[in-house]
């Protein structure tokens, strides 16, 4: 059997060539070397449009730089980054420009992130010295990349307003306006976007009051993505927006167990939420929608190692990738990922004694009827509180918990699970793979606790 990456690259190549042929476009073309010119235009009917080098451009984006061949094959044209490195380090600048060169050769452009310091990390938006250092860094970063043809939009900050609980903090928003003016002084040919978490009316009002230089509003929203146009209406936003992160329901939007563990949706439910969110946001009747960026195009440990990543840790794409291909370009990939229809176990959502044994099973299928492989794991609950982009440690997998199952060696659709000996919160995971680069996953939380006398 060929390695999984072979199938992914083959699929990407087939889809990319087929897409270009169907569109009447050449399979490849030499990249331009002139700086791009990007502008916003509002039509007479009030609808907004992004123009790149004079041509209409809608953002079909992915968050992160991994698996670019597959991103293009799925209809993506834009990569979103969250920072742009250290502009005073020539080697770092050269490396980023090389990344931009390589992505541009594939037909991809960038929402180039400009990181903003957070007050929770000791920065003060009332301290002139702090502000000047940040202004100098932003100016130098813009100078380092403004001439690159792959530049589309400057992304000034990501949820940098922080957990301000409806406190406006005028000094923060006024400083964003100062930074946007600096960016435009250095580069008048690319719009400035700032990304906020959700569409709270207090944030929109603060932008109206203190941040007139903003060109595009970026909104990260998950369970509420489909309703975003209506929420922006209610908040009074009339200018263009990009859905800068969307995906599964967030861990703050789902039911919790009695011990506080959020119940993670399975791969199929997550994929449906990607499609629902995109369709709802893109159907903005007022024409403010400029595009979207799905999150996250890769693997990420946040709450679990499967909640937000569109790929498994071992590299397989999940059904979320398939649905992005469909909503971005109205066609499915040649090989779709497996589907998990149901996962069951006697220990689901329960408190159980140490060492007790329970049955577990999964019902799964594959759109192409590929033979499926099953992997089961018990992983300790992370227990970390995700906040403001801090990295989470990967929690340990507990050995010896999968004690019986199919003749294939505890890897079939039905297994026996032995609860860990150590009390605490855990999850039982199942991973389903088709051997051709597709995968799916689901998990159920459970609690191990000593029996009370």
Q: Which residues of 198-207 are buried (b: 16+ CB within 10 A; e: fewer)?
A: ebeeebbebb
> Could you give the CA distance from residue 22 to residue 15 in angstroms, rounded to a whole number?
10
- CB distance 433 to 387 below 8 Å: no
- Residue 17 pLDDT: 41
Domain ends where: 303, 329, 355? 329
Whether 371 and 405 share a structural domain: yes
Helix (H, G, I), strand (E, B) or coil at 272: helix
User: Structural domain tally of the chain?
Assistant: 2
Q: Are both 362 and 303 inside the same structural domain?
A: no
- pLDDT for position 451: 74
pLDDT one-digit tens code per residue, 239-263: 999 999 999 999 999 999 999 999 9
End residue of a domain, out of 283, 304, 329: 329
Each residue of 261-283: b (16+ CB within 10 Å) or e? Answer: bbebbbbbebbebbbbbbebbbe
Place of tokens 């990344």: 99
Contact 285, 229 (CB under 8 A): yes
Pairwise CA distance, residues 216 & 357, whole Å: 55
User: Cα(441)–Cα(373) distance, rounded to whole angstroms?
Assistant: 12
Domain for residue 191, yes or no? yes
In a domain, 273, yes or no: yes
Is residue 334 in some structural domain?
no
Residues 309 and 235 in one domain: yes
- Domain membership flag for residue 171: yes
Pick the closest to residue 122 from 154, 162, 87 (CA basis): 162
Residue 149 carries which DSSP code? T
Which of 264, 424, 402, 401 minimizes the C-alpha distance to 351? 424
Domain shared by 398 and 433, yes or no: yes
pLDDT at 28: 35
Q: Determine the pLDDT at residue 244.
A: 99
Are both 321 and 348 inside the same structural domain?
no
Pairing of strands 216-220, 241-246: parallel
**In the prediction, which pLDDT does 259 show?**
96
**Nearest CA among 212, 215, 130, 125 for reference residue 164:** 125
Per the listing, tokens 């009370």 go with 452
Does residue 453 lie within any of the structural domains?
no
Q: Strand 216-220 to strand 109-114: parallel, antiparallel, or no bridges (unpaired)? A: unpaired
Would you say residue 320 lies in a domain?
A: yes
Stretch (H or E) spanning 91: helix 90-105
Q: Does 399 map to a domain?
A: yes
296 and 424 inside one domain:
no
**Residue 284 in tokens:** 């903005």
Looking at the structure, tell me whether residues 80 and 152 fall in a common domain: yes
Q: What is the pLDDT of residue 262?
A: 97
- Judge if the upstream peptide bond of residue 296 is cis by omega within 30 degrees of 0: yes
Whole domain around residue 434: which residue ranges?
A: 339-448
Measure the CA–CA gap between 151 and 81, rounded to whole angstroms: 11
Can you tell me which residue has the tokens 């399975």? 266
| 311 Cβ contact list (under 8 Å, min separation 6) | 66, 67, 297, 298, 299, 317, 318, 321, 439
Given a contact cutoff of 8 angstroms between Cβ atoms, the answer to whether 398 and 391 are in contact is no
pLDDT < 50 stretches in the chain: 1-3, 5-7, 9-10, 13-31, 407-409
CATH of the domain at 344: 2.60.40.10
Pair 294, 348 in one domain: no
Residue 104's CATH number: 3.20.20.80
Give bridge partners of residue 292 from the DSSP assignment.
Answer: 60, 243
Question: How crowded is residue 233: how many other Cβ atoms within 10 Å of its Cβ?
Answer: 15
**Are 324 and 347 part of one and the same domain?**
no
CB 323 within 8 A of CB 419: no
- 325 with 382, same domain? no
Beta bridge partners of 243: 219, 292
pLDDT of 165: 58
Q: How far apart are CA 81 and CA 36, in angstroms?
A: 18
Cα 366 to Cα 110: distance, rounded to the nearest angstrom = 34
Domain final residue pick, 270, 296, 329? 329
Residue 271: predicted pLDDT: 98
pLDDT of residue 383: 77
* 3-state class (DSSP) for residue 383: coil
Asked if residue 172 is part of any domain, the answer here is yes
Burial of 39 (0-12, 13-18, 19+ CB in 10 A): middle
Q: Can you spell out the DSSP letters for 178-199?
A: HHHHHHHHH-TTS-EEEEEES-
Q: Are residues 312 and 363 in the same domain?
A: no
| CB contact set of 165 (below 8 Å; sequence gap of 6+) | none
My answer on whether 262 and 159 are in the same domain is: yes
pLDDT of residue 31: 47
């Amino acid at each position: 059997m060929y390695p999984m990456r072979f199938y992914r690259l083959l699929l990407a190549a087939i889809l990319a060539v087929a897409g270009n042929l169907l569109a009447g476009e050449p399979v490849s073309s030499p990249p331009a070397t002139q700086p791009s010119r990007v502008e916003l235009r509002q039509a007479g009917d009030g609808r907004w449009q992004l123009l790149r080098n004079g041509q209409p451009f809608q953002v079909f984006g992915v968050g992160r730089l991994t698996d670019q061949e597959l991103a293009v094959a799925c209809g993506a044209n834009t990569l979103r980054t969250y920072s742009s490195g250290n502009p005073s380090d020539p080697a770092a600048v050269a490396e980023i420009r090389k990344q931009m060169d390589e992505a541009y050769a594939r037909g991809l452009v960038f929402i180039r992130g400009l990181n903003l310091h957070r007050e929770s990390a000791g920065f003060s938006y009332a301290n002139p010295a702090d502000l000047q250092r940040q202004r100098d860094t932003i100016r130098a970063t813009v100078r380092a990349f403004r001439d690159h043809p792959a530049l589309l939009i400057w992304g000034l900050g990501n949820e940098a307003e922080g957990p301000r609980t409806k406190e406006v903090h005028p000094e923060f928003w006024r400083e964003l306006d100062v930074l946007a003016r600096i960016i435009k002084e250095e580069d008048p040919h690319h719009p400035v976007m700032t990304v906020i978490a959700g569409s709270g009316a207090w944030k929109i009002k603060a932008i109206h009051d203190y941040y007139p230089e903003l060109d595009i509003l970026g909104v990260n929203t998950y369970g509420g993505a489909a309703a975003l146009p209506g929420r922006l209406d209610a908040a009074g936003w009339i200018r263009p927006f990009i859905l800068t992160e969307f995906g599964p329901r967030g861990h703050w939007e789902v039911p919790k167990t009695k011990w506080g563990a959020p119940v993670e949706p399975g791969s199929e439910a997550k994929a449906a939420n990607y499609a629902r969110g995109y369709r709802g946001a893109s159907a903005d009747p007022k024409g403010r929608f400029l595009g979207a960026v799905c999150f996250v195009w890769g693997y990420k440990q946040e709450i679990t190692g499967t909640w937000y990543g569109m790929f498994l840790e071992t590299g397989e794409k999940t059904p979320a990738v398939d649905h992005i291909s469909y909503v971005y370009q109205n066609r499915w990939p040649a090989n779709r990922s497996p589907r998990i229809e149901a996962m069951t176990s006697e220990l689901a959502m329960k408190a159980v004694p140490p060492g007790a044994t329970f049955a577990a099973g999964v019902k799964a299928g594959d759109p192409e009827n590929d033979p499926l492989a099953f992997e089961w794991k018990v992983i300790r609950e992370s227990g970390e509180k995700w906040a403001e982009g801090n990295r989470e440690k990967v929690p340990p997998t507990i050995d010896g918990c999968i004690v019986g199952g199919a003749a294939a060696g505890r890897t079939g659709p039905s297994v026996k699970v032995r609860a860990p000996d150590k009390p605490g919160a855990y999850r039982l995971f199942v991973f389903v793979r088709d051997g051709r680069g597709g995968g799916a996953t689901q998990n159920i939380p459970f609690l191990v606790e000593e029996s009370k006398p």
